Amino acid sequence: MRFRFIAPIAAVLTIACTETNTITGRDQFLMIPASQDAALGLEAMNEVKQSVKLVKGKPAERVARIGKRIAALSDRPDMQWEFVVIDEDVLNAWALPGGKVAVYKKMLDMMESDDQLAAVLGHEISHAVLRHGAESLSRAQAQNMAIAGLGLAVGTYTKSGETAQLAATLANVAAQGFVALPHSRSMELEADDIGTRYMARAGYDPRAAVTLWQKMQKMKEGSGGQPQWLSTHPTDQQRIDRLSAKMADYLAEYQRAKKS
Ligand SMILES: [Zn+2]
Protein backbone atom coordinates (compact mmCIF):
# COMPACT_ATOMS: atom_id res chain seq x y z
CA MET A 1 0.00 0.00 0.00
CA ARG A 2 2.76 2.43 0.86
CA PHE A 3 4.13 2.29 -2.67
CA ARG A 4 1.00 3.81 -4.09
CA PHE A 5 2.11 7.19 -2.86
CA ILE A 6 5.63 7.08 -4.17
CA ALA A 7 4.85 7.84 -7.80
CA PRO A 8 2.95 11.08 -7.16
CA ILE A 9 5.56 12.24 -4.66
CA ALA A 10 8.30 11.61 -7.21
CA ALA A 11 6.31 13.57 -9.76
CA VAL A 12 6.05 16.48 -7.35
CA LEU A 13 9.75 16.41 -6.70
CA THR A 14 10.65 16.49 -10.36
CA ILE A 15 8.06 19.04 -11.47
CA ALA A 16 7.70 21.34 -8.51
CA CYS A 17 10.86 23.26 -8.00
CA THR A 18 12.24 26.37 -6.47
CA GLU A 19 13.74 28.70 -9.00
CA THR A 20 15.70 31.85 -8.34
CA ASN A 21 14.19 34.71 -10.28
CA THR A 22 17.02 36.42 -12.14
CA ILE A 23 15.35 39.84 -11.95
CA THR A 24 14.47 39.94 -8.26
CA GLY A 25 16.88 37.34 -6.84
CA ARG A 26 13.99 35.80 -4.87
CA ASP A 27 13.37 32.04 -4.84
CA GLN A 28 10.00 31.14 -6.34
CA PHE A 29 8.07 27.91 -5.86
CA LEU A 30 6.85 26.93 -9.34
CA MET A 31 5.00 23.86 -10.53
CA ILE A 32 4.27 25.23 -13.99
CA PRO A 33 7.14 25.31 -16.49
CA ALA A 34 7.82 28.71 -18.08
CA SER A 35 7.29 27.12 -21.48
CA GLN A 36 3.61 26.75 -20.59
CA ASP A 37 2.94 30.37 -19.61
CA ALA A 38 2.05 31.52 -23.12
CA ALA A 39 -0.42 28.68 -23.81
CA LEU A 40 -1.99 29.01 -20.36
CA GLY A 41 -2.42 32.76 -20.62
CA LEU A 42 -3.83 32.58 -24.14
CA GLU A 43 -6.40 29.95 -23.23
CA ALA A 44 -7.42 31.75 -20.07
CA MET A 45 -7.72 35.06 -21.96
CA ASN A 46 -9.91 33.41 -24.59
CA GLU A 47 -12.18 32.13 -21.83
CA VAL A 48 -12.37 35.58 -20.28
CA LYS A 49 -13.26 37.11 -23.66
CA GLN A 50 -16.19 34.73 -24.01
CA SER A 51 -17.69 35.95 -20.75
CA VAL A 52 -17.14 39.71 -20.90
CA LYS A 53 -17.65 42.60 -23.32
CA LEU A 54 -14.51 44.44 -24.41
CA VAL A 55 -14.24 48.18 -25.00
CA LYS A 56 -13.16 48.97 -28.56
CA GLY A 57 -11.84 52.14 -30.20
CA LYS A 58 -9.81 54.96 -28.69
CA PRO A 59 -9.72 53.91 -24.99
CA ALA A 60 -8.62 50.38 -25.92
CA GLU A 61 -6.01 51.76 -28.34
CA ARG A 62 -4.64 54.04 -25.62
CA VAL A 63 -4.19 51.16 -23.17
CA ALA A 64 -2.59 48.95 -25.85
CA ARG A 65 -0.25 51.75 -26.98
CA ILE A 66 1.02 52.53 -23.46
CA GLY A 67 1.11 48.86 -22.42
CA LYS A 68 3.10 47.76 -25.46
CA ARG A 69 5.54 50.62 -25.09
CA ILE A 70 6.28 49.59 -21.50
CA ALA A 71 6.33 45.83 -22.26
CA ALA A 72 8.80 46.38 -25.09
CA LEU A 73 11.27 47.85 -22.58
CA SER A 74 10.63 45.24 -19.89
CA ASP A 75 12.82 42.20 -19.28
CA ARG A 76 10.44 40.11 -21.44
CA PRO A 77 9.68 41.99 -24.67
CA ASP A 78 9.36 38.58 -26.32
CA MET A 79 6.11 37.64 -24.54
CA GLN A 80 2.87 37.60 -26.52
CA TRP A 81 1.67 40.88 -25.03
CA GLU A 82 -1.98 41.77 -25.29
CA PHE A 83 -3.87 44.56 -23.55
CA VAL A 84 -7.65 44.73 -23.32
CA VAL A 85 -10.23 46.96 -21.66
CA ILE A 86 -13.18 45.16 -20.09
CA ASP A 87 -16.47 47.06 -20.32
CA GLU A 88 -17.49 46.75 -16.69
CA ASP A 89 -18.04 49.21 -13.91
CA VAL A 90 -15.28 47.71 -11.81
CA LEU A 91 -12.11 49.22 -10.37
CA ASN A 92 -9.71 46.47 -11.25
CA ALA A 93 -6.83 45.33 -13.45
CA TRP A 94 -4.98 42.03 -13.73
CA ALA A 95 -2.33 40.12 -15.66
CA LEU A 96 -2.31 36.49 -16.75
CA PRO A 97 0.80 34.38 -17.37
CA GLY A 98 2.41 34.97 -20.73
CA GLY A 99 1.59 38.69 -21.00
CA LYS A 100 -2.20 39.02 -21.15
CA VAL A 101 -3.30 42.16 -19.33
CA ALA A 102 -6.76 43.61 -18.67
CA VAL A 103 -7.94 46.92 -17.27
CA TYR A 104 -11.59 47.52 -16.41
CA LYS A 105 -13.36 50.55 -17.84
CA LYS A 106 -14.01 52.20 -14.49
CA MET A 107 -10.34 51.91 -13.56
CA LEU A 108 -9.36 53.43 -16.89
CA ASP A 109 -11.82 56.32 -16.45
CA MET A 110 -10.31 57.06 -13.06
CA MET A 111 -6.78 57.55 -14.39
CA GLU A 112 -5.91 61.24 -14.46
CA SER A 113 -3.03 60.93 -16.92
CA ASP A 114 -1.10 58.57 -19.18
CA ASP A 115 1.52 58.48 -16.43
CA GLN A 116 -0.96 57.15 -13.89
CA LEU A 117 -2.29 54.57 -16.34
CA ALA A 118 1.33 53.60 -17.06
CA ALA A 119 1.81 52.97 -13.32
CA VAL A 120 -1.09 50.48 -13.31
CA LEU A 121 0.11 48.83 -16.54
CA GLY A 122 3.74 48.72 -15.39
CA HIS A 123 2.63 47.00 -12.21
CA GLU A 124 0.56 44.39 -14.06
CA ILE A 125 3.25 43.87 -16.72
CA SER A 126 5.70 43.12 -13.91
CA HIS A 127 3.39 40.46 -12.47
CA ALA A 128 3.51 38.69 -15.86
CA VAL A 129 7.27 39.15 -16.34
CA LEU A 130 8.03 37.92 -12.82
CA ARG A 131 5.69 34.91 -13.27
CA HIS A 132 3.59 35.80 -10.23
CA GLY A 133 0.45 34.22 -11.73
CA ALA A 134 2.24 30.90 -12.21
CA GLU A 135 3.66 31.20 -8.71
CA SER A 136 0.29 31.92 -7.06
CA LEU A 137 -1.32 29.10 -9.03
CA SER A 138 1.49 26.74 -7.99
CA ARG A 139 0.99 27.64 -4.34
CA ALA A 140 -2.76 27.08 -4.64
CA GLN A 141 -2.22 23.77 -6.40
CA ALA A 142 0.25 22.67 -3.74
CA GLN A 143 -2.30 23.50 -1.06
CA ASN A 144 -4.98 21.54 -2.94
CA MET A 145 -2.61 18.61 -3.19
CA ALA A 146 -1.86 18.71 0.49
CA ILE A 147 -5.58 18.73 1.19
CA ALA A 148 -6.26 15.92 -1.27
CA GLY A 149 -3.40 13.86 0.11
CA LEU A 150 -1.35 14.24 -3.07
CA GLY A 151 -4.30 12.98 -5.07
CA LEU A 152 -3.65 15.39 -7.91
CA ALA A 153 -1.57 14.07 -10.77
CA VAL A 154 1.20 16.59 -11.12
CA GLY A 155 3.56 15.31 -13.75
CA THR A 156 1.11 15.79 -16.57
CA TYR A 157 0.90 19.53 -17.16
CA THR A 158 2.21 19.13 -20.66
CA LYS A 159 -0.95 17.27 -21.65
CA SER A 160 -3.32 19.65 -23.38
CA GLY A 161 -6.23 18.54 -21.20
CA GLU A 162 -4.37 19.62 -18.11
CA THR A 163 -3.44 22.92 -19.73
CA ALA A 164 -7.08 23.54 -20.58
CA GLN A 165 -8.08 22.77 -17.01
CA LEU A 166 -5.47 25.10 -15.56
CA ALA A 167 -6.43 27.79 -18.07
CA ALA A 168 -10.08 27.48 -17.06
CA THR A 169 -9.06 27.88 -13.42
CA LEU A 170 -7.03 30.95 -14.31
CA ALA A 171 -9.86 32.45 -16.37
CA ASN A 172 -12.24 31.91 -13.49
CA VAL A 173 -9.80 33.50 -11.13
CA ALA A 174 -9.24 36.39 -13.56
CA ALA A 175 -12.98 36.93 -13.89
CA GLN A 176 -13.16 37.23 -10.12
CA GLY A 177 -10.41 39.83 -10.20
CA PHE A 178 -7.90 37.50 -8.60
CA VAL A 179 -9.90 37.57 -5.40
CA ALA A 180 -9.49 33.82 -5.16
CA LEU A 181 -5.81 33.92 -5.95
CA PRO A 182 -4.19 36.88 -4.26
CA HIS A 183 -0.54 37.54 -4.79
CA SER A 184 1.64 37.58 -1.72
CA ARG A 185 2.84 40.80 -0.22
CA SER A 186 6.37 40.23 -1.51
CA MET A 187 5.01 39.79 -5.04
CA GLU A 188 3.07 43.06 -4.73
CA LEU A 189 6.12 44.99 -3.55
CA GLU A 190 8.19 43.46 -6.37
CA ALA A 191 5.59 44.48 -8.95
CA ASP A 192 5.59 48.03 -7.56
CA ASP A 193 9.37 48.27 -7.76
CA ILE A 194 9.97 46.62 -11.14
CA GLY A 195 6.80 48.12 -12.63
CA THR A 196 7.80 51.66 -11.70
CA ARG A 197 11.25 51.02 -13.18
CA TYR A 198 9.69 49.82 -16.45
CA MET A 199 7.29 52.76 -16.75
CA ALA A 200 10.12 55.24 -16.12
CA ARG A 201 12.26 53.48 -18.72
CA ALA A 202 9.40 53.95 -21.21
CA GLY A 203 9.32 57.68 -20.50
CA TYR A 204 6.42 57.90 -18.04
CA ASP A 205 6.78 59.95 -14.88
CA PRO A 206 7.38 57.48 -12.02
CA ARG A 207 5.99 59.94 -9.46
CA ALA A 208 2.55 58.96 -10.81
CA ALA A 209 2.96 55.56 -9.10
CA VAL A 210 2.96 57.34 -5.74
CA THR A 211 -0.07 59.49 -6.56
CA LEU A 212 -1.86 56.35 -7.80
CA TRP A 213 -1.44 54.58 -4.48
CA GLN A 214 -2.30 57.74 -2.53
CA LYS A 215 -5.48 57.95 -4.56
CA MET A 216 -6.27 54.29 -3.83
CA GLN A 217 -5.62 54.90 -0.14
CA LYS A 218 -8.06 57.83 -0.15
CA MET A 219 -10.71 55.73 -1.89
CA LYS A 220 -10.32 53.02 0.70
CA GLU A 221 -10.85 55.52 3.48
CA GLY A 222 -13.72 57.24 1.66
CA SER A 223 -17.36 56.20 1.58
CA GLY A 224 -17.35 54.92 -2.00
CA GLY A 225 -16.39 51.43 -0.92
CA GLN A 226 -13.13 49.63 -1.46
CA PRO A 227 -12.00 49.29 -5.10
CA GLN A 228 -11.81 45.65 -6.14
CA TRP A 229 -8.18 46.12 -7.16
CA LEU A 230 -7.41 46.69 -3.49
CA SER A 231 -8.74 43.30 -2.43
CA THR A 232 -5.60 41.83 -3.98
CA HIS A 233 -3.54 45.00 -3.71
CA PRO A 234 -3.59 46.05 -0.09
CA THR A 235 -2.48 49.63 0.07
CA ASP A 236 -0.81 51.14 3.04
CA GLN A 237 1.81 53.66 3.97
CA GLN A 238 4.59 51.06 3.64
CA ARG A 239 3.81 50.62 -0.02
CA ILE A 240 4.00 54.37 -0.64
CA ASP A 241 7.12 54.73 1.54
CA ARG A 242 8.92 51.98 -0.38
CA LEU A 243 8.22 53.70 -3.71
CA SER A 244 9.20 57.10 -2.35
CA ALA A 245 12.47 55.70 -0.95
CA LYS A 246 13.56 54.53 -4.40
CA MET A 247 12.20 57.52 -6.31
CA ALA A 248 15.66 58.94 -7.06
CA ASP A 249 16.51 55.71 -8.94
CA TYR A 250 13.23 55.76 -10.86
CA LEU A 251 13.64 59.43 -11.74
CA ALA A 252 17.17 58.80 -13.04
CA GLU A 253 15.73 56.13 -15.33
CA TYR A 254 13.01 58.57 -16.42
CA GLN A 255 15.54 61.31 -17.21
CA ARG A 256 17.59 58.87 -19.30
CA ALA A 257 14.46 57.92 -21.24
CA LYS A 258 13.59 61.56 -21.85
CA LYS A 259 17.07 62.31 -23.22
CA SER A 260 17.21 59.36 -25.59
ZN1 LIG B 1 -0.42 43.51 -8.07
Read off the pLDDT of residues 131-188 as tens digits, 9 standing for 90 and up: 998 898 887 777 665 544 433 333 344 445 666 777 777 666 665 544 446 788 889 9
Backbone angles phi, psi at 203, to 5 degrees: 90, 20
Cβ–Cβ under 8 Å, residues 145 and 1: no
CA 183 / ligand 1 centre spacing (Å): 7
CA dihedral 101, 45, 165, 9 (to 10 degrees): -20
Residues 192, 82: Cα–Cα separation, whole Å: 20
Single-letter amino acid, residue 172: N
pLDDT at residue 178 in the model: 45
CA 260 / ligand 1 centre spacing (Å): 29
CA 248 / ligand 1 centre spacing (Å): 22
CA 112 / ligand 1 centre spacing (Å): 20
pLDDT at residue 33 in the model: 85
Q: Is 124 a catalytic residue?
A: yes
Residues 74, 68: Cα–Cα separation, whole Å: 10
Catalytic residue among 43, 124, 188, 190: 124
Residues 74, 198: Cα–Cα separation, whole Å: 6
pLDDT at residue 151 in the model: 35
Residues 20, 73: Cα–Cα separation, whole Å: 22
CA 24 / ligand 1 centre spacing (Å): 15
pLDDT at residue 212 in the model: 94
pLDDT in tens, 87-125: 999 888 999 999 999 999 999 999 999 999 999 999 999
Residues 226, 218: Cα–Cα separation, whole Å: 10
pLDDT in tens, 236-248: 788 899 999 999 9
CA 9 / ligand 1 centre spacing (Å): 32
CA 38 / ligand 1 centre spacing (Å): 19
Cβ–Cβ under 8 Å, residues 62 and 69: no
Q: Which helix (H) or strand (E) holds 103?
A: strand 100-104
Asked if the model's pLDDT at residue 10 lies above 50, the reply is no
Residues 178, 172: Cα–Cα separation, whole Å: 9
Q: Which helix (H) or strand (E) holds 17?
A: strand 17-20
Residues 2, 19: Cα–Cα separation, whole Å: 30
pLDDT at residue 150 in the model: 36
Residues 47, 163: Cα–Cα separation, whole Å: 13
pLDDT in tens, 14-48: 456 788 999 999 999 888 889 889 998 998 899 89
